[in-house]
A and B are shown apart, each in its own frame.
Chain A
């Protein structure tokens, strides 16, 4: 299984490979992960920081376990996006793990949040749902799993910072309609199933306005207890 302890080792290997790159002969590509994942960069940015296309998410600094789960899901077709399904179809597990570690280890600065296009009332609803949830409707707060700083938790819970509203909204929509699924118990499907379209708009808009915190790194596993079971974050 995927072990968080592997992270520093992989980073060291990557660094060593970078040092070695200068000594490469001109006839071979650099023996680095950066060169190997160039196929990812037109959509996700050179260091996984994202691009101008609001539907392509930032990858940098997300927990490696989360990124690995997504790579596995894209490879098997469980998570559907044909350009990603196509690229990953014939890549082995250890390589996908190395890709996940690579982007988890990148720390380009978070972007300045763009000014929101929605009304103050909508933003207020978004903030309410994200920080407190709505117990009456069985909606937990985003922060209860994704962390008070929304930076995520190792190994499987992604941070929600640096993403644009259209991407978050599209993902919540996909969870609601069951086109995005994850290991059972599929916590995000349960949560999104309780959201209305207006909730999705509000939460997405508010999350996209969040400025970068002092420390955007995901917190260690077990930093706080999850309110309910989640297949992607086994205890």
Chain B
């Protein structure tokens, strides 16, 4: 641990003297386009703007929200159905202000509250890249929002509450690397879209940024990035963080579900410097001290029965990969002991993993990932609850037991 920390300090020191924004001015159009492609990946534009089996950036992907279904737009340079008539100013205005070139309001499913932090130079590079791709003639599909959410004027209220326009302002007290990481995480990375609690109005308050929350419609819990009891990375080594972001697997844990999408489509393409900058920033925002574990809602007798059944289920189905002491065989078979995603207050993710299994994303660094089998068909609600209760409390883990009802409810959670 000591040596890992000192490496982190060395890295920090090495970057303190670097230029703040690391914006080398690219000297020709191809460099700008290449940089734009890189930044479009950092922004994960494709996750929403490319439909399954659809053409790149032609939109048309259905985005279910609590307010109805949105369909993403065509951002190819087709003049009639895409953004072919947009100027670089128009594009920047959209990214920065959340308004169409004609001033129309954009639904905040587009993460403009994050993209507003993107610099003009980076916006221009993304614009140049989008101009360079194949135009696709494909009309945008109208949104299907329920009354009253189909009234775009409501967005004005949302903007007043949750949107503050403005490019990223570096913190002069922090290193250039920390600031680069903050710029990527808070801006293009739009990590806060999932990793912050979403209120009933579909907004996030600044003070709750990165504090974790259940992702609406998907029923995955996006853990807090600030609490070390969740996905706070305060006691992770920089290497474990960069491994997780770049390859999807690490000695501490593995990404599944919506985060697998982010690693697959976006983070694996970031260069080592940017990945490390994000890691430094993420490690930095984690709280040093951890709040005490929440009390369980289950009566003690029920908990102990569950945990004892849980050990039986664990030894039979789980121990062969995850080890009798929850040690796993990391990075491919993740450890369960001292694994924050198992212990955190929300048990949604561990229950879902037992029910549905999962594969980490196939990445350049881990092209043939190992998969977790789904147990929905093999284990009863009671057995699922038991084994999840067991792994949340065994080996010094500080989670709480879960009920069969919680397990049952997640059987019907959407899988895609």
* Interfacial residues, chain A to chain B (CB-CB below 8 A): 27-29, 35-43, 53, 76-78, 82-83, 85-92, 94-95, 98
Given A90-B360, A98-B368, 7 further pairs, Cβ under 8 A: A28-B332, A29-B370, A38-B373, A39-B371, A42-B375, A90-B361, A91-B359
Is B357 engaged at the interface, CB distance under 8 Å to the other chain?
yes
Is B282 engaged at the interface, CB distance under 8 Å to the other chain?
no
Residues on the A chain within 8 Å of B368, using CB:
36, 95, 98
**From residue B355, how far is it (CB to closest CB) to chain A in Å?**
9
**Cβ of B53 and Cβ of A37 under 8 Å apart?**
no
Residues on the B chain within 8 Å of A27, using CB:
329
**Cβ of A38 and Cβ of B260 under 8 Å apart?**
no
A35–B360 alpha-carbon span in the complex (Å): 14
Residues on the A chain within 8 Å of B261, using CB:
89-90
Is B264 engaged at the interface, CB distance under 8 Å to the other chain?
yes
Residues on the A chain within 8 Å of B377, using CB:
42-43, 53
A39–B416 alpha-carbon span in the complex (Å): 17
**Cβ of A89 and Cβ of B260 under 8 Å apart?**
yes
Residues on the B chain within 8 Å of A43, using CB:
374, 377
**From residue A74, how far is it (CB to closest CB) to chain B in Å?**
10
Q: Who on chain B is nearest to A80 by CB? A: B416
A40–B370 alpha-carbon span in the complex (Å): 11
**From residue A102, how far is it (CB to closest CB) to chain B in Å?**
11
A32–B310 alpha-carbon span in the complex (Å): 29
**Cβ of B370 and Cβ of A35 under 8 Å apart?**
yes
Is B362 engaged at the interface, CB distance under 8 Å to the other chain?
yes
Q: Who on chain B is nearest to A78 by CB? A: B53
Closest 10 pairs (CB-CB, A-B): A39-B371, A90-B361, A82-B415, A86-B415, A90-B264, A92-B362, A91-B362, A76-B53, A77-B52, A42-B373
Q: From B263, B264, B367, B374, name the one whose CB has the most chain A CB atoms within 10 angstroms.
A: B374
Q: Which of B345-375 contact A (CB under 8 A)?
A: 356-362, 367-375
A28–B331 alpha-carbon span in the complex (Å): 8
**From residue B405, how far is it (CB to closest CB) to chain A in Å?**
22
Q: Who on chain B is nearest to A33 by CB? A: B368
**Cβ of B367 and Cβ of A94 under 8 Å apart?**
yes
